[in-house]
């Protein structure tokens, strides 16, 4: 198969990235954190692509990468030696993989249960490695996390009791995290700011309790794209886990953040049944709709009215001359799961393909390994 040289050569559906827009997003975020004591730990789950992560790290202001899954952390470890898995891992096999990773790079992982503590400790001891731990605090999202305050302190103390020092392998308490996921998506700035501040008060008051009890707070981690400049304003917050800013999606666009759309889903018109409608080959197997339908970047003035498995149904403005075989580009409403549907991203400078980047952290890596064994 020949490699595409221009947008017209790309087989659709496909992800395309406007490299210049992405680089501007990376530079804007790196510049915001330059000179601040709070650092950026970009979330790899937003794109799962080493080439993009490499550019984020190279831009500076970063203290490592954040990952959501063990497979992402395994992929990210090829280019980064300080990884936070900002998510609970309790499956014995995955705990062993976390321990194996910790023998090569610095790993820190979220913890919110005694069962998780037991399983991670067993894996770390078996491998004879130190696995860093952050107590995951529920700051209002009501997903994972122990209650702020007393419960968080109690679990932190358990970590220290169970694994006193990690010399012979065990867990090493490094601090706490609390992701304000219920607040990052509030479109209106004043309301978002109030919700984020309330969430961060829960986290930083717990961090102060940690200190009062002599517990470590080397890492106090929080934040996303909708809150990076609010949460980082709290003196106690040491790093921000934002991810979406690098490529952006239409869900975040309503917040008027200083970041540009850099990712598109390229499709081909396969049918033009009426003057007002065309159908492209980029349905929801190429572009998720969990955060609503994507927008149409091209043709101008068009809008997506439905996504079927393999079909994007597009309403066209009066006078639109688009023909069967022409290209359309959609803007995703949610980048993370959309990226996860694809194997590569085509990197574009205008219409020229300047790279084809693998999405190394996508899917269930362990399942792929099974079929390769
Ligand atoms: C734990 C955690 N941290 C940080 C983020 C930040 O992501 P975003 O940049 O998309 O707001 C997410 C997103 O879902 C998350 O789940």
> Using 50, 70 and 90 to split pLDDT, how confident is the model at 39?
very high
Question: Best of 86, 186, 243 to mutate for ligand 1, by most ligand atoms within 8 A of CB?
Answer: 243
Q: What is the pLDDT of residues 334-348, one digit of tens each?
A: 999 999 999 999 999
Dihedral Cα 319, 320, 324, 328, nearest 10 deg: -170
Looking at ligand 1, which residue's alpha carbon is closest to its atom 12? 224
What's the pLDDT at 366?
A: 76
Rounded distance from Cα 257 to ligand 1 centre (Å): 16
Q: Which residues line ligand 1 (CB under 6 A)?
A: 43, 46, 86, 179, 181, 184, 224-226, 241-244
Q: Is the pLDDT of residue 211 over 70?
A: yes
Give the mean model confidence (pLDDT) for residues 207-228: 98
What's the pLDDT at 195?
A: 98
Rounded distance from Cα 228 to ligand 1 centre (Å): 10
User: In sequence order, what DSSP letters do the residues of 257-316 get, joined into one string?
Assistant: -S----EEEEEEEEEEEETTEEEES--TTTS--TT-PPEEEESTT-EEEEE-SS-EEEE-
Start-to-end Cα distance in the chain:
26
CA angle 6, 300, 287 (to 5 degrees): 65
**Length of the chain (residues):** 373
What's the pLDDT at 2?
A: 82
Where does residue 233 rank: exposed (0-12), middle (13-18), buried (19+ CB within 10 A)?
middle
Give the mean model confidence (pLDDT) for residues 202-211: 98
Give the mean model confidence (pLDDT) for residues 161-179: 85
Atom of ligand 1 nearest to the CA of 226: 11
Looking at ligand 1, which residue's alpha carbon is closest to its atom 8? 224
What's the pLDDT at 47?
A: 98
Residues contacting 102, CB < 8 A, separation 6+: 124, 127, 129, 130, 131, 132
Q: What is the pLDDT of residues 100-133, one digit of tens each?
A: 999 999 999 999 999 999 999 999 999 999 999 9
Atom of ligand 1 nearest to the CA of 110: 1
Average pLDDT, the chain: 96
Give helix then strand counts, H and E, for the chain.
11, 17
Give the mean model confidence (pLDDT) for residues 197-221: 98
Question: Best of 25, 33, 40, 43 to mutate for ligand 1, by most ligand atoms within 8 A of CB?
Answer: 43
Q: Is the pLDDT of residue 167 over 80?
A: no
What's the pLDDT at 86?
A: 98
Looking at ligand 1, which residue's alpha carbon is closest to its atom 11? 224
The SS3 call for residue 4 is coil
Rounded distance from Cα 230 to ligand 1 centre (Å): 15
> Using 50, 70 and 90 to split pLDDT, how confident is the model at 34?
very high
> Using 50, 70 and 90 to split pLDDT, how confident is the model at 373?
low
What's the pLDDT at 31?
A: 98
Q: What is the pLDDT of residues 139-152, one digit of tens each?
A: 999 999 999 999 99
What's the pLDDT at 221?
A: 98
Looking at ligand 1, which residue's alpha carbon is closest to its atom 5? 224
> Using 50, 70 and 90 to split pLDDT, how confident is the model at 367?
confident
Q: Is the pLDDT of residue 163 over 70?
A: no
Q: What is the pLDDT of residues 263-300, one digit of tens each?
A: 999 999 999 999 999 999 999 999 999 999 999 999 99
Contact 145/203 with Cβ under 8 angstroms? Answer: no
Atom of ligand 1 nearest to the CA of 335: 10
What's the pLDDT at 365?
A: 76
Rounded distance from Cα 255 to ligand 1 centre (Å): 15
Rounded distance from Cα 130 to ligand 1 centre (Å): 26
Q: Is the pLDDT of residue 372 over 80?
A: no
What's the pLDDT at 364?
A: 83
Are β-strands 239-240 and 263-274 bridged in parallel, bridged antiparallel, or unpaired? unpaired
Give the mean model confidence (pLDDT) for residues 62-68: 98
Where does residue 190 rank: exposed (0-12), middle (13-18), buried (19+ CB within 10 A)?
exposed
Q: Is the pLDDT of residue 165 over 70?
A: no
Give the mean model confidence (pLDDT) for residues 200-212: 98
């Amino acid at each position: 198969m020949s490699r595409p040289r221009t947008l017209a050569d790309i087989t659709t559906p496909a992800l395309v990235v406007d490299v210049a827009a992405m680089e501007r997003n990376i530079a804007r975020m790196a510049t915001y954190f330059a000179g601040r004591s709070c650092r950026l730990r970009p979330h790899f789950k937003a794109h799962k692509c080493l080439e993009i992560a490499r550019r984020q790290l190279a831009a500076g202001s970063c203290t490592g990468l954040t990952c959501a899954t063990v497979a992402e952390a395994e992929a990210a470890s090829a280019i980064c030696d300080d990884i936070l898995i900002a998510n609970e891992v309790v499956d014995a096999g995955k705990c062993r993989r976390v321990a194996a990773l910790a023998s090569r790079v610095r790993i820190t992982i979220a913890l919110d249960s005694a069962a998780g503590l037991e399983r991670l400790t067993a894996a770390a001891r078996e491998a004879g490695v130190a696995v860093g731990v952050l107590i995951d605090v529920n700051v209002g999202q009501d997903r994972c996390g122990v209650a702020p305050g007393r419960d968080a302190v109690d679990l932190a103390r358990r970590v220290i009791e169970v694994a006193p020092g990690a010399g012979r392998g065990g867990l090493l308490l490094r601090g706490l995290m609390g992701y304000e996921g219920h607040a990052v998506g509030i479109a209106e700035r004043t309301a978002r700011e109030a919700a984020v501040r309330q969430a961060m008060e829960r986290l930083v008051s717990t961090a102060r309790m940690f200190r009062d009890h002599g517990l470590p707070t080397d890492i106090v981690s929080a934040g996303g794209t909708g809150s990076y400049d609010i949460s980082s304003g709290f003196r106690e917050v040491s790093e921000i886990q934002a991810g979406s800013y690098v490529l952006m999606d239409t869900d975040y666009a309503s917040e008027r953040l200083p970041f540009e759309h850099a990712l598109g889903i390229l499709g081909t018109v396969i049918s033009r049944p009426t003057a007002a409608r065309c159908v492209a080959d980029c349905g929801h197997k190429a572009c998720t709709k969990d955060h609503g339908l994507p927008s149409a970047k091209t043709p101008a003035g068009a809008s997506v009215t439905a996504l079927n498995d393999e079909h994007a149904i597009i309403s066209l403005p009066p006078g639109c001359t688009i023909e069967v075989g022409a290209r359309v580009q959609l803007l995703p409403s949610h980048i993370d799961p959309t990226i996860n549907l694809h194997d590569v991203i085509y990197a574009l400078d205008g219409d020229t393909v300047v790279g084809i980047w693998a999405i190394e952290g996508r899917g269930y890596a362990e399942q792929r390994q099974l079929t390769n064994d």
